[in-house]
């Protein structure tokens, strides 16, 4: 009796077919690359104030200073406080600041620079909002909203310490 070969115990390895997977990748990779949202980095150009030059003759020039404090916004001309705008329930009163800056720009159209001074604990988002408000404003003209350039050359710095805080530190 011839010996019968038993194949039940011995199986051939299954062949791995990756054709379907490769077809999927050929379609999926270009689709993902096309629909991917690439992050864009926006760079804000800042101009730092130049060191004070002492010529002997100093011309009185308008300076626009916006001081951002914890509870208010102060608009000054470099030597004195023009207006203090206390915070509203919604936060900083950016609308009132824009109105005042529009009035200053109307009187001094050649002026392009401004300084924003911040207290140490002011959040970065507030700085960006203030830079937007100082740089340009939306004006309603002839039934349409128009963006007007105010003071696009913005310098930033540290706000001077308030007199109340100075008194608390001394005492």
Q: What is the pLDDT of residue 4?
A: 57
> Could you tell me what percent of the chain has a pLDDT over 70?
75
- The C-alpha angle with vertex 126 and arms to 122 and 128, in degrees rounded to 5, equals 125
- pLDDT tens per residue across span 55-105: 555 566 788 999 999 999 999 887 888 899 999 888 888 889 999 999 999
Contact 21, 130 (CB under 8 A): no
Residue partners of 101: CB distance under 8 A and separation at least 6: 64, 75, 114, 133, 134, 137, 150, 151
Can you give the pTM of this predicted structure? 0.61
Does the structure show a pLDDT above 60 at 139? yes
Does the structure show a pLDDT above 60 at 51? yes
123-148 as b/e: b if 16+ CB within 10 A: eeeebeebbebbbbbeeeeeeeeeee
CA pair distance 131, 125, nearest whole angstrom: 10
Q: What is the pLDDT of residue 16?
A: 79
> What is the 3-state secondary structure of 69-121?
CCCEEEEECCCCEEEEEECECCECCHHHHHHHHHHHHHHCCCCCEEEEEECCC
Nearest to 152 by CA among 93, 95, 92, 111: 111
């Amino acid at each position: 009796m011839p010996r019968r070969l038993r194949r039940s115990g011995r199986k051939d390895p299954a062949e791995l077919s990756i054709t379907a997977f490769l077809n999927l990748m050929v379609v999926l990779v270009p689709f993902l690359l096309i629909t991917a949202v690439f992050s864009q980095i926006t760079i804000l150009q800042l101009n730092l104030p130049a060191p004070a030059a002492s010529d002997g003759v100093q011309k009185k020039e308008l300076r626009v200073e916006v001081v951002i404090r914890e509870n208010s916004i102060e608009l000054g001309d470099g030597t004195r406080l023009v207006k203090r705008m206390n915070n509203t329930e919604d936060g900083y009163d950016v609308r009132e600041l824009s109105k005042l800056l529009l009035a200053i720009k109307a009187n001094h159209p050649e002026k392009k620079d401004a300084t924003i001074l911040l207290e140490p604990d002011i959040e970065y988002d507030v700085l960006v909002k203030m830079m937007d408000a100082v740089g340009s404003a939306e004006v309603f003209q002839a039934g349409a909203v128009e963006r007007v350039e105010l003071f696009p050359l913005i310098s930033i710095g540290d706000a001077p310490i308030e007199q109340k805080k100075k008194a608390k530190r001394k005492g």
